[in-house]
Structure 1
Amino acid sequence: MGYTNIISEEDNSITTITINRPNKLNALNKETINELHGAFKEADLDKNTKVIIVTGSGEKAFVAGADISEFANYSIEEGKILAANGQELLFNFIENLSTPVIAAINGFALGGGLELAMACHFRVASDNAKMGLPEVSLGVIPGYGGTQRLPQLIGKGRAMELIMTAGMVDANRALSYGLVNHITTLDELLPFCEKIAGKITRNSSVAISAAIRAINANFKDGVDGFNTEIQEFGNCFGSDDFAEGTSAFLEKRKADFPGE
């Protein structure tokens, strides 16, 4: 599938999706959000793809925010629709994807950019990265899940301060907060993410998808995460991956998971 604002490439079971609007610091507009949805959906359905990495083009920004010019004159109702559609189409979609997604944060991840990174399953940042949710400086709040995911990741008090001050944290502070898992140099960012992705690809994609669902269940209202874990654990026993994994263990050989 051809895209205008993003590049999607698959190699060695890893699909790398690059947001490619360098002149706009990779800001998210409606077209880009729609293209990202299509690329993530396509990669998730691709049996060759075991891990997805999302990053931004250039050296300055992962995603420097949403394209404010698109919604500066929106009404109350239009604002609600914008947030609801964006969350469903991209941010919640990524969080619940069955294929693991790593955010490779190269530079600024602000507003919708940080919300995109937080929707991913985990994050790695370059040492020049800066992250924040500056929406209140524009008279609005984060609308793509930022007020929900940031407290889950760094705690309520820190999230309150970061959102209320419209401030930014650097990569080291983000690491100490638990907002990112690792820091690398800019040059090493993608190779480092690919190394982690390579470790993931050696494991059962069926079990990994089940683990994503079980972990996410703990953060959903009205859902018993422990019960979800029990159900997903049991379901694994009916998979070809479980048969292969246990056989390989007992036969003292490396597993070759079919992904089914």
Structure 2
Amino acid sequence: MNGFETIVFEKSQGIAWVTLNRPRVLNAFNIQMRDDLYEALTAINDDPEITVVIFKGAGERAFCVGADLTEFGTAPSPVIARQVRWERDVWELLLSLKQPLLAALHGYVLGSGVEIACCCDIRIASDGAVFGMPEVSLGMISAAGGSQTLPRLLRVGGALEMLLTGQRISAVEAYRIGLVNKVVPRRELLAAVEDVAAKILSMNQEAVRWAKGAVVRGLDMSLAEGLALESRLFALLRR
């Protein structure tokens, strides 16, 4: 799939690579990127040959610095802006994908960059990565799920500290609080993510998807309901 303005989409040997590709503005998330991602993610969702998805950012300075503030207030009306958002809800689509999603995080990972990462299943950061949720410093709150996804990854206190103070944290601190799974030198970042993808690809893919599904669906259930779900899925897989 080619022809995107703000992302690069590549597919090889069961892996889909999605590169945020606005390096001149540190891969800031704009309306066109939302539309491009929506089309790419829809294609991924419908493609049985794709078993793992990897997200990364173009350039050396950032994975994504968040929303492109130059586009704020450019919609014809709040009603139209809201309608378009719900018609192309990238965040819900990300969370609904059955394939494992991996994020290779480097440089600045701010705002929407953190929120994209939170929608992924495994996050690996370079040692120089910097994370933050700056919305409160701009008189706003997160609008792409950060207030909901961060507390599900971190302790509530850790999520609130990021959301309420806008403070930036290092990759080492992100690892300590559970925001990322691993920290590696910048030159080893893509190889580290590819290694995880290769391990996933070597597994039974039906089992991989059902394992992810059990976790994701179970988060909205009581422990008893989650255990019952696991038992049902285990029985179905053993047929």
Q: Please, what TM-score do these two structures have when normalized by structure 2?
A: 0.90
* 1:58 paired to 2:59: yes
| Counterpart residue type for residue 159 of structure 1 | A
Q: CA deviation at 1:226?
A: 2.5
- Matches of residues 1-260 of structure 1 in structure 2 within 5 Å? 1=1, 2-72=3-73, 77-78=78-79, 81=82, 85=86, 89-220=89-220, 224-238=225-239
Q: Is the 8 A contact 1:104 1:193 kept in 2?
A: yes
* C-alpha separation in 1, matches of 2:40 and 2:84: 20
Unpaired stretches in structure 2, ≥5 consecutive residues: none
Q: Is the 8 A contact 1:95 1:121 kept in 2?
A: no
Q: CA deviation at 1:24?
A: 1.4
Q: CA deviation at 1:57?
A: 0.1
Who wins on radius of gyration, i.e. which is larger? 1
Unpaired stretches in structure 1, ≥5 consecutive residues: 239-260
Deviates more, 1:34-43 or 1:149-158: 34-43
Q: CA deviation at 1:106?
A: 1.5
Q: 1:221 to 1:146 in 2, by over 3 A?
A: farther
Aligned length: 237
Cα RMSD, aligned residues only: 2.4
1:198-225 CA-to-partner distances (Å, cap 9, x unmatched) read 0000112111111121101232268932
Q: Is the 8 A contact 1:111 1:142 kept in 2?
A: yes
**Percent identity of paired positions between Structure 1 and Structure 2:** 34
* C-alpha separation in 2, matches of 1:184 and 1:37: 30
* C-alpha separation in 2, matches of 1:233 and 1:194: 28
Q: Is the 8 A contact 2:75 2:81 kept in 1?
A: no
Structure 1: which 4+ aligned runs deviate by more than 3 Å? 72-80, 221-224
Q: Is the 8 A contact 1:59 1:186 kept in 2?
A: no
Secondary structure at the aligned position of 2:89 is classed as helix
